[in-house]
């Protein structure tokens, strides 16, 4: 049986809320470096063309069945500052709307969240690779973009796409990977587990 690996992945406050609410079951991450051609994609990677020719490229986020532990903006609760070890917690998470200086000491960037402070684990159910704009309306909704219960009008559909493009570009456009650039992306589909990754691994 293949070993299950656990890796970190960063999410913004808005996307953490979407994960907690069950609205986000996909994420797209830019393929780096960008290939000029993709021969095919599989459950863990793809054969891509780059300066070295055609090479096997594994998805850096893992394969089907692997785990991702979510890193988000966090802090120690005031009550945990006297704990004997840093792992004891409890912790506060900015995505919950917690008020700094009242409940916690200071917000710490998501990149610095240790594994033991993470509260969300994603189990990868599929790994794909395609161009960013090879997306459907359903994909946009699965990315956590809020949508009306029933999308009936072209205005609602247009607003859905505008919200997604705005979100993507706010993160990636300055790096040259905006919507108009249509970069190759890894597409990760997953199930959300509201537990620390080490708890999940013990099950």
pLDDT per residue as tens digits for the range 10-64: 999 999 999 999 999 999 999 998 888 787 666 667 777 776 667 778 899 999 9
pLDDT in tens, 128-175: 989 999 999 999 999 999 876 666 778 788 899 999 999 999 999 999
- Between residues 98 and 133, which one has the greater pLDDT? 133
Higher per-residue confidence, 46 vs 194:
194
* pLDDT value, residue 167: 95
Alpha-carbon distance of 100 to 33, in angstroms, equals 38
Q: What is the pLDDT of residue 181?
A: 97
pLDDT given for residue 43 in this prediction? 64
Q: Answer yes or no: CATH 1.10.3720.10 is held by domain 6-73+109-202.
A: no
Judge contact between 13 and 75, C-beta under 8 A: no
Cβ neighbours of 9 (radius 10 Å): 19
At residue 106, the pLDDT reads 83
Structural domain spans, the chain: 6-73+109-202, 74-108
Residue 158 is encoded by which pair of tokens?
């247009």
Mean pLDDT within 124-128:
94
Q: What is the DSSP string of 21-58?
A: TT-B-EEEEE-SSPPSEEEEE-SSEEEEEETTEEEEEE
How confident is the model at residue 169, as a pLDDT?
Answer: 98
Locate 197 and state its tokens.
Answer: 């990754």
Could you say which DSSP state residue 186 is in?
E
pLDDT of residue 16: 97
**CA–CA separation, 194 and 175 (whole Å):** 32
């Amino acid at each position: 049986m293949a070993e299950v690996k656990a890796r970190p992945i960063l999410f913004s406050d808005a996307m953490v809320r979407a994960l907690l609410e069950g609205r986000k079951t996909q994420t797209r991450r830019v393929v780096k470096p960008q290939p000029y051609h993709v021969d095919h994609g599989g459950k863990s990677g793809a054969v891509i063309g780059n300066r070295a020719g055609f090479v096997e490229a594994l998805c850096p986020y893992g394969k089907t069945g692997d785990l991702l532990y979510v890193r988000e903006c966090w802090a120690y609760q005031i009550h945990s500052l006297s704990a004997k070890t840093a792992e004891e917690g409890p912790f506060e998470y900015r995505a919950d709307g917690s008020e700094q200086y009242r409940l916690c000491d200071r917000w710490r960037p998501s990149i610095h969240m240790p594994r033991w402070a993470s509260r969300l684990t994603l189990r990868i159910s599929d790994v794909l690779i395609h161009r960013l704009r090879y997306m459907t309306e359903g994909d946009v909704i699965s990315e956590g973009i809020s949508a009306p219960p029933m999308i009936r009008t072209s205005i609602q559909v247009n607003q859905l796409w505008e919200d997604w493009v705005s979100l993507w570009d706010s993160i990636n456009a300055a790096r040259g990977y905006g919507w108009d650039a249509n970069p190759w992306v890894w597409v990760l589909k997953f199930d959300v587990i509201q537990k620390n990754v080490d708890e999940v691994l013990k099950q």
